[in-house]
Amino acid sequence: MADFLHDFFMQRFNNLEDITAEWGYSLLDALSNYKDEHYANVFLSILEGDSTEDLYYEEMEIMKKLMTELDRVDVEKTGNLSIDQFMAALNAVFPLKQEPSTQALFDAAIQELELQVDENTLIDYKALFTEDEEGHTGAFLNTLKLQDNDESQAYVTEIGNQLEGNEKISVAELRNVLLTNDPKIDADHMTKIP
């Protein structure tokens, strides 16, 4: 991505290195100053090589899976779910999440929708997937993205810790470590091992 951006600025500014460098520096400075904004942070992470460009698409896929499950559970197609239905959908999509994580998602949804919780509370789940005019998502999706990032980091760290000290490992050993850490990993994800 960094090479593409450099080439883009070079083409845009007629191969003037000084202007290209100035724009590159300004962009990095702006992204650093606004890294509390999710998409700015994602873009900065990609530019610095800490994440791949797939990160954005993976987030979109997670949100799509969740929305699909929420829609499936909403058999009456009202756009509203009971607390039990909402929690069941979260647990179906994220079976490996611990209870504190699903509770944090629930709490974020309640906060975002400004609901008072009782036995008759209905969650307007479609409202949780909206963005404001500046592209900001609410507390629910922000919590989901943060959890996904934290869980991915922990997953990679755990695998790294288990492989630490091995100069060379076979594909079979790597697959075994992955299966130990993620027993529900599917064949498609397993074959993406570089």
CATH number of the domain to which 90 belongs? 1.10.238
Q: Is residue 93 part of a domain?
A: yes
Alpha helices in 74-98 (DSSP H): 83-93
Indicate if 41 and 73 belong to the same structural domain.
Answer: no
| Same-domain check for residues 123 and 80 | yes
Q: What is the pLDDT of residue 115?
A: 94
Along the 194 residues of the chain, how does pLDDT read in single tens digits?
Answer: 778 888 888 898 888 899 989 998 899 899 889 877 777 887 888 888 777 777 778 888 999 999 999 999 999 999 999 999 999 999 999 988 999 999 999 999 999 999 999 989 999 999 999 988 887 889 999 999 888 878 877 887 888 888 888 778 888 888 888 887 776 677 666 666 54
- pLDDT of res. 46: 81
pLDDT value of residue 189: 66
Distance CA 41, CA 143 (A): 15
- The reported pLDDT for the residue numbered 128 is 96
Cβ–Cβ < 8 Å for 100, 128: no
Residue 189 lies in a domain: no
Q: Which of 121, 137, 153 is the last residue of a domain?
A: 137
How many structural domains does the chain have?
A: 2
Predicted TM-score (pTM) of the model is 0.70
Q: Is residue 117 part of a domain?
A: yes
The predicted structure's pLDDT at residue 126: 96
Structural domain including 21 reads 2-47
29 and 81 both lie in a single domain = no
Residue 163 lies in a domain: no
The torsion region of residue 23 among left (phi > 0), alpha (psi -120 to 50) and beta comes to alpha
Residues 72 and 133 in one domain: yes
Whether residues 70 and 115 fall in one domain: yes
